[in-house]
Amino acid sequence: MDLTFAPIEGKSRGFRRLMVVLGVLVAVMFASFMVMYLLGQQVWGTSNAIPWGQLITLDFFFVGVSAGAIVVSALCYVLRREEYKPIGRMAVLMGFLLFAGAMVTVLVDLGRIEKFWRVFAWGFMNNPTSMFAFNSIWYTGYLLLMAVYLWLAIENKTKWAMIIGTIDVLWALAVHSFTGAIVGLIGTREILSSPIKPFEFITAAVTSGTSLLIIAVYLTFKYTKRPLDNKIIISLGKILSYVIIILLVMIFFDKLTHIYFPAREGVLFLFTGPYWWLFWIFQIGMGIVFPLAVLFNPKTNKSVKWVLAACASVVIGVFGERAAIVIPGAAQVQQLYPGEIQGQWGMAGAFPITIWETLLTIGTLAFVALLFVLGLKYLEILPKGTEPKGEAVKHG
């Protein structure tokens, strides 16, 4: 397949409107960060009972979708499947920018942001036994690898792209597995602790990454008036359905392991506690049941619109799944002594949705979207289309 790639024109009214909206949201992100930096994290919903909130949820989500996008890019550059060539560069760009977004979220979540460099002072000022510090090597290497991978893809150096792409895919799997290990290795928290958590994380990453890529591909090609073979969407939807099955099996055995033995307070708290809806509605309903119903129904799984609906459901569901780990995982009262702990120490943590934390979360999403649109404008990411001058992109 001979394809010529080119930047989008980016001169239309729709493009300018999009840039203004994203620009305003990014300004809101900086403003809400400054509010937090000046007043402290008291303006967020976090507490000593739930020390991680929306930003860490978004961080886990970003790392996941990035890894998923890179895995999908392997269809084009590692497995050399020609039909995925039109979306190959976009998958790599998304992987790179989403991971950069993950780094931004984890950075702004720190109480003392100016000391972040300590985590990267390997073996000197950091603690290599910490999964945070251990991941600093993986994260740095991953960003560098993706930058090189993107450059090779844009320069059409297919042989080197295959080599670096293969390393990058393996690296992406490691990055996300070790990100899962950040929570999976916490033996004191019943909801978090699980040896299967790294694998559950990477499987959820592939589902959400594939879904977000499908949505981004559809919208980008549609609004830049580029021809897109619907078979790409349908075939990616098919791959997605199989990965969701694997994810379902992992979640089932993880929860079964935690509920089978009498020490089942953690999983019961997740199922029936104040955050039951995060698990049942988002993680199971939107992340598993609805997309499977769509993708295995012969009437809907060949419809682009239904596949897109399933993908949107998976993206929201996996975001909810991350929240179902971060928030109830810490909110559950630890069983310090036999019996019921009385008073405030026996109450599960509450996590209010606060304005500044939410604006920062939305702003960070807009920041990544802005970089993505700028990437489309200044890099040769998309195949040449039929877009008329001045009418190029209307919406991302």
Q: What's the rounded Cα separation, in Å, for the pair 196 and 300?
A: 32
Shortest CB 314 distance to other proteins, Å? 27
Per-residue x/- track, 274-313, other proteins (CB under 8 A): ----------------------------------------
Nearest to 255 by CA among 271, 273, 274: 271
Q: Which of 6, 17, 20, 40 touches other proteins (CB under 8 A)?
A: 40
Q: How far is the CB of 283 from other proteins (least distance, A)?
A: 20
* 349 lines the binding site for other proteins (CB under 8 A): yes
Q: How far is the CB of 115 from other proteins (least distance, A)?
A: 5
379, 93 contact by CB (below 8 A): yes
For the segment 163-192, give every residue that binds other proteins (CB under 8 A).
Answer: 182-183, 186-189, 192
Judged by beta carbon, residue 2 or residue 340, the one nearer other proteins is: 340
For position 337 contacting other proteins by CB under 8 A, the verdict is yes
42 binds other proteins (CB under 8 A): yes
- Cα separation, 108 vs 161, in Å, equals 33
The only residue of 33, 52, 96, 201 in contact with other proteins, by rule CB under 8 A: 52
The pattern of x and - marking residues 84 through 123 that bind other proteins according to CB under 8 A reads: -------------------------xxxx--xx-xx----
Q: Could you tell me which residues are beta bridge partners of residue 6?
A: 382
Q: How many residues bind other proteins (CB under 8 A)?
A: 51
Least distance to other proteins, CB of residue 188, Å: 4
In angstroms, give the least distance from the CB of 390 to other proteins. 48
In 3-state terms, what secondary structure has residue 382?
Answer: strand
Torsion angle defined by CA atoms of residues 81, 82, 87 and 88, in that order, rounded to the nearest 10 degrees: 60
What minimum distance in Å lies between the beta carbon of 43 and other proteins?
9
CB of 270 to other proteins, least distance (A): 16
Judged by CB under 8 A, the chain residues 121 through 160 that form the site for other proteins are: 125-127, 129-133, 136
Closest CA to 183 of 34, 64, 17, 361: 64
Report the nearest approach of other proteins to the CB of residue 208 (Å): 23
At residue 257, what is the residue type?
T
CA distance 31 to 43: 13
The whole-angstrom separation of Cα 149 and Cα 156 is 10
Q: Which of residues 203-222 bind other proteins (CB under 8 A)?
A: none
Provide the minimum distance between the beta carbon of 364 and other proteins in the complex, in angstroms, as a whole number. 17
48-57 b/e with 16+ CB inside 10 Å = b? ebbebbbbbb
Quick one: 195 or 346, whose CB is closer to other proteins?
346
Task: Confirm or reject binding of residue 47 to other proteins (CB under 8 A).
Answer: yes
Q: Is 341 left (phi over 0), alpha (psi -120 to 50) or beta?
A: beta
Query: By C-beta, is 52 or 372 nearer to other proteins?
Result: 52
Q: Which is nearer to other proteins, 79 or 113 (CB)?
A: 113
The single-letter code of the amino acid at 222 is K
Six-digit token pair at 248?
């379902």
Question: Among 79, 341, 353, 355, which residue sits at the site for other proteins (rule: CB under 8 A)?
Answer: 341
Tokens of 37: 């930096």
With residue 383 as reference, give the H or E element that holds it: strand 382-383
**Which candidate, 326, 315, 395, places its Cα nearest to that of 105?**
326
358 binds other proteins (CB under 8 A): no
Find all residues with CB under 8 Å of 18, minimum gap 6, and list them.
373, 393, 394, 395, 396
Shortest spacing between CB 30 and other proteins, in angstroms = 18
Which strand (E) or helix (H) includes residue 276? helix 276-277
Chain contacts with other proteins (rule: CB under 8 A): 39-42, 46-49, 51-52, 109-112, 115-116, 118-119, 125-127, 129-133, 136, 182-183, 186-189, 192, 329-330, 334-346, 349-350
